[in-house]
């Protein structure tokens, strides 16, 4: 009794009834295919969220200036600038858990290039803002400290703005007008794509903080900013950084113990992590549902193997008469079930990969197929085959040879 | 001649619920190597039960059964399977070949369960098929063979492990007279030529006459044990008028 021979016998036995073997396999094929497709969908979503977290900048905190109350009417966060450029500098200098801090002014402005114009969000900030967001330029140069000090009339354009104002022309060195002021384009920012909530991150213009203060936003409250972007030194000190910022700003703004903060700190990475977690749960859930279909496929195998054992009772009797032991018969049927499920598993892998590519193309849903998932579902299929093949195989092995030989 | 089989006071009782059905009520028999024994009896006489025990497919309720001096009564199922594999060849009334499996592979089947190499399996199966006159039909399926040819494949299968004993249970029951003679001729040739012990179960005196010893069963006991001068199947076959059956493929 040798294994390769047993495999050959199993293969032959299955070949004798192709239609039935194929239908039995179908359960496993669909099961494995579904598991792979579902895991691909889940991990694709997870990967996209992770990508977005990375594009947003890691370990990111946003300090927003406080709300204002005027005549019983409350305005939202950031409606009154209570933060200053000095606050930002203090945060960077005094909070040990903070790596970078950048004051940010922003507003919607009309940007004009010749006869083209485009309304976009303009950020005015220091070079740190781009470091915090991990946002390099792909052409030209980035904003440097001397641009801020000299309030240079230079700007960086996001990809979307470039497309709308310049088309295919290289914008570096060209002059655009923002609120009537001429700005020289010194660089083009790399592509960031969309945020989770569908906002185009590339529809943006960056100018030096001082330039923005003087020419674009600064007239109302000189030296004030609406927000400060902060990057913590690591993911594990996010809460510490938040704590330090709150303490520092309360002190700087002279807020008494019983007074509310005139600013708020938001942990954006945390919100994204929650999204990532929900994607993980979704992927787990999809996988679990798909596993059920694999389980049903396994029950199909058991069903067919039971029929097969009954049908081949005489064959079992003959084999026993010429000297097959119980375990020889057990292995034969077990391996038949295993071969069924493994062949089904291989076909299922192709189906699953094909299905997830179709989903990616038709529904524009990102899918990610990992080798790990393929291996997992393939071995799961094999396990299902052995598990559900065992009962019929044992039934065959325990047959009485005399009765089996007499069976019509 | 050495003793091949000895049964001592063999008793087999079946239990159908509360009811006890005695199938064998104390059988004693000794068979020497090289004998050709016909076991006869009506249905219900206990001869099938006796055959099952001789074939190690079943175990006696009481008594002892020795094959080449080894007591079989106390062996496990797996050990019985090995005895069947190595020492006993079976030939059945309904041939019992695996369908959709070539003659060659059917004959190889017993070798598959004792770890023979692929080359050895093939060679011995080819030899066994040649021994029963089936050269050139190795790759035919049972459905492409006549009854006589199928039975010859079955005989080749029983021979392939060089057993000490062939148990033939009504081997000619499904065959016409001429083919029956051919099969009996093969048995006689194996018995005389290779000194293989053959135990034949039959209820037809016309078939039993080719065996040299007749053991008759009735109601679970041996009632008669006689030796005769057997007829020669080959001679009888030669005397038969030629018929269209000659045209058998």
Residue A344 lies in a domain: yes
Question: Each residue of B47-104: pLDDT tens digit?
Answer: 989 999 999 998 899 999 999 988 988 889 999 999 999 999 999 999 999 988 899 9
In the predicted model, what is the mean pLDDT of chain A?
84
- Is the model's pLDDT at B248 over the cut of 70? no
- Is the model's pLDDT at A122 over the cut of 50? yes
pLDDT band at A125 (very low <50, low <70, confident <90, very high): confident
Contact A201, A194 (CB under 8 A): yes
Instruction: Identify the DSSP state of A145.
Output: H
Give A76 or B35, the one with higher predicted confidence.
B35
For chain B, what is the HEC assignment? CCEEEEEEEEEEEEEECCEEEEEEEEEEEEEECCCEEEEECCCCCCHHHHHHHHCCCCCCCEEEEEECCEECCCCCHHHHHHHHHHHEEEECCCCCCCCCCCHHHHHHHHHHCCCCCHHHHHHHHHHHHHHCCCCCCCCCCHHHCCHHHHHHHHHHHHHCCCCCEEEEECCCCCCCHHHHHHHHHHHHHHHHHCCCEEEEECCCHHHHCCCCEEEEEECCEEEEEEECCCCCHHHHHHHCCCCHHHHCC
Q: Give the pLDDT mean for A255-281.
A: 79
Question: Each residue of B111-160: pLDDT tens digit?
Answer: 988 888 889 999 999 999 999 999 999 999 999 999 999 999 999 999 99
Strands B165-169 and B88-91, sheet pairing: parallel
| Token code pair at residue B224 | 């008669």
Which of the following CATH numbers is that of domain B3-247: 3.40.640.10, 3.40.50.300, 3.30.390.30, 1.10.3720.10? 3.40.50.300
Amino acid B101: pLDDT: 87
Instruction: Identify the DSSP state of A229.
Output: E
Question: Each residue of B179-211: pLDDT tens digit?
Answer: 999 999 999 999 998 889 999 999 889 999 999
Question: Each residue of A200-239: pLDDT tens digit?
Answer: 888 889 888 888 888 887 656 667 788 888 888 887 888 8
ipTM of this model? 0.92
Amino acid A396: pLDDT: 94
Are residue A343 and residue A194 in the same domain, yes or no? no
Contact B72, B65 (CB under 8 A): yes
The domains of chain B are located at 3-247
Give A76 or B102, the one with higher predicted confidence.
B102
Amino acid A70: pLDDT: 57
Are residue A285 and residue A376 in the same domain, yes or no? yes
Residue A222 lies in a domain: yes
Contact A129, A212 (CB under 8 A): no
Helix (H, G, I), strand (E, B) or coil at B199: strand
Domain boundary among A261, A290, A318: A261
Amino acid A363: pLDDT: 86
Residue A94 lies in a domain: yes
Are residue A278 and residue A243 in the same domain, yes or no? no
Min CA distance, B231 vs chain A (Å)? 30
Question: Each residue of A1-60: pLDDT tens digit?
Answer: 567 777 877 888 888 788 888 888 898 899 899 888 888 888 888 887 777 776 677 788
Helix (H, G, I), strand (E, B) or coil at B85: helix
Are residue A98 and residue A200 in the same domain, yes or no? yes
Distance in angstroms (rounded) separating the CA atoms of residues B49 and B43: 11
Alpha-carbon torsion B69, B71, B76, B81, what sign?
positive
Domain boundary among A200, A232, A261: A261
Option in A16, A318, A320 nearest B81 (CB): A320
Q: Give the pLDDT mean for A302-310.
A: 90
Span between the terminal Cα atoms of chain B, in Å: 40
Amino acid A221: pLDDT: 64
Residue A118 lies in a domain: yes
Are residue A103 and residue A198 in the same domain, yes or no? yes
Min CA distance, A326 vs chain B (Å)? 7
Of A84-98, A186-200, B214-228, the range with the lowest mean pLDDT is A186-200
In the predicted model, what is the mean pLDDT of chain B?
90
Question: Each residue of A372-397: pLDDT tens digit?
Answer: 888 888 898 899 899 999 999 999 99
Are residue A227 and residue A333 in the same domain, yes or no? no
Looking at the 3D structure of chain A, how many domains does it have? 2
Min CA distance, A325 vs chain B (Å)? 5
Amino acid A67: pLDDT: 64
- Is the model's pLDDT at A133 over the cut of 70? yes
Option in B78, B85, B86 nearest A326 (CB): B78
Numbered residues of chain B with Cβ closer than 8 Å to any chain A Cβ: 52, 55, 57-58, 77-78, 81-82, 84-86, 90, 92, 96-98, 100-101, 109-110, 112-115, 118, 157, 161
Amino acid A148: pLDDT: 81
Distance in angstroms (rounded) separating the CA atoms of residues A317 and A290: 39
Residue A95 lies in a domain: yes
Residue A100 lies in a domain: yes
Are residue A234 and residue A281 in the same domain, yes or no? no
Are residue A313 and residue A383 in the same domain, yes or no? yes
Amino acid B247: pLDDT: 47
Numbered residues of chain A with Cβ closer than 8 Å to any chain B Cβ: 1-2, 5, 12, 16, 314-315, 317-328, 401-402, 405
Question: Each residue of B159-185: pLDDT tens digit?
Answer: 999 999 999 999 998 899 999 999 999
Residue A20 lies in a domain: yes
Are residue A247 and residue A378 in the same domain, yes or no? no
Question: Each residue of A351-371: pLDDT tens digit?
Answer: 999 999 998 888 888 888 888
Domain boundary among A234, A261, A288: A261
Option in A2, A16, A323 nearest B81 (CB): A323
Residue A77 lies in a domain: no
- Is the model's pLDDT at A313 over the cut of 90? yes
Percent of chain A with pLDDT over 70: 93
Are residue A317 and residue A184 in the same domain, yes or no? no
- Using a CB-CB cut-off of 8 Å, the residues of chain A touching B92 are 405
Are residue A95 and residue A179 in the same domain, yes or no? yes
- Is the model's pLDDT at A199 over the cut of 80? no
Q: Provide the domain limits for residue A208.
A: 83-261
Strands B213-218 and B36-40, sheet pairing: parallel
- The number of residues in chain A equals 408
């Amino acid at each position: 009794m040798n294994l390769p021979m047993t495999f050959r016998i199993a293969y032959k036995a299955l070949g004798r009834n192709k239609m039935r073997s194929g239908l039995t396999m179908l359960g496993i094929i669909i099961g494995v295919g579904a598991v792979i497709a579902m895991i691909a969908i889940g991990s694709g979503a997870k990967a996209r969220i992770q990508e977005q977290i990375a594009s947003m900048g890691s370990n990111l905190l946003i300090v927003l200036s406080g709300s204002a109350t005027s005549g019983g009417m409350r305005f939202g966060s950031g409606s009154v600038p209570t933060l200053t450029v000095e606050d930002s500098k203090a945060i960077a200098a005094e909070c040990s858990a903070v790596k970078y801090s950048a004051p940010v002014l922003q507003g919607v402005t009309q940007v004009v290039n010749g006869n083209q114009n485009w309304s976009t969000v303009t950020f005015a900030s220091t070079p740190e803002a781009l470091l915090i967001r991990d946002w390099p330029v792909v052409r030209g140069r980035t904003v440097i400290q001397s641009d801020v000090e000299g309030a240079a009339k230079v700007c960086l354009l996001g990809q979307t703005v470039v497309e709308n104002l310049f088309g295919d022309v290289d914008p570096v060195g060209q002059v655009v007008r923002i609120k009537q002021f001429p700005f020289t384009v010194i660089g083009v920012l790399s592509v960031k794509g969309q945020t989770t909530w569908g906002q185009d991150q590339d529809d943006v213009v960056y100018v030096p903080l001082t330039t923005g203060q003087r020419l674009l936003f600064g007239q109302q409250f000189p030296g004030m900013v609406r927000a400060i972007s902060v990057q913590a030194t690591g993911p594990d000190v996010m809460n510490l950084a938040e704590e330090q910022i709150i303490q520092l700003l309360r002190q700087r703004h002279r807020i008494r113990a019983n007074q509310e903060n005139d600013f708020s700190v938001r942990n954006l990475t945390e919100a994204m992590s929650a999204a990532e977690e929900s994607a993980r749960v979704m992927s787990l859930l999809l996988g679990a549902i798909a596993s059920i279909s694999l389980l049903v496929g396994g029950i199909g195998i058991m069903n067919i193997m039971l029929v097969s054992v009954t049908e081949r009772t005489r064959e079992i009797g003959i084999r026993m008469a010429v000297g097959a032991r119980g375990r020889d018969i057990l292995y034969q049927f077990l391996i038949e079930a295993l071969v069924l499920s493994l062949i089904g598993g291989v076909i299922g892998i192709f189906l699953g990969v094909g299905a997830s590519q179709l989903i990616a193309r038709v529904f524009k849903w990102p899918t990610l197929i990992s080798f790990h998932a393929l291996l997992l579902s393939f071995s799961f299929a094999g396990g299902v085959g052995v598990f559900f093949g065992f009962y019929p195989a044992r039934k065959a092995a325990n047959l009485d040879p005399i009765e089996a030989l007499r069976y019509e | 001649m050495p003793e091949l089989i000895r049964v001592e006071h063999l008793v087999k009782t079946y239990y159908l619920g509360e009811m006890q059905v005695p199938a064998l009520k104390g059988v004693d028999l000794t068979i020497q190597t090289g004998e050709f024994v016909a076991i006869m009896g009506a249905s219900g006489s206990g001869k099938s039960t006796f055959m099952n025990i001789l074939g190690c497919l079943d175990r006696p309720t009481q008594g002892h059964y020795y094959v080449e001096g080894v007591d079989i009564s106390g062996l496990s199922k797996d050990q019985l399977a090995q005895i069947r594999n190595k020492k006993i060849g079976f030939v059945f009334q309904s041939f019992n070949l695996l369908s959709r499996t070539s003659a060659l592979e059917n004959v190889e089947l017993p070798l598959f369960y004792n770890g023979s190499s692929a080359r050895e399996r093939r060679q011995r199966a080819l030899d066994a098929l040649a021994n029963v006159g089936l050269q050139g039909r190795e790759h035919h399926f049972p459905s492409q063979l006549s009854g006589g040819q199928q039975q010859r494949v079955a005989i080749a299968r029983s021979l392939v492990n060089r057993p000490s004993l062939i148990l033939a249970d009504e081997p000619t029951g499904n065959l016409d007279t001429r083919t029956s003679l051919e099969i009996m001729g093969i048995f006689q040739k194996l018995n005389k030529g290779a000194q293989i012990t053959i135990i034949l179960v039959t209820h037809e005196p016309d078939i039993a006459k080719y065996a040299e010893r007749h053991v008759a069963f009735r109601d679970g006991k041996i009632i008669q044990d006689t030796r005769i001068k057997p007829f020669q199947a080959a001679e009888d076959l030669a005397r038969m008028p030629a018929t269209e059956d000659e045209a058998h493929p």
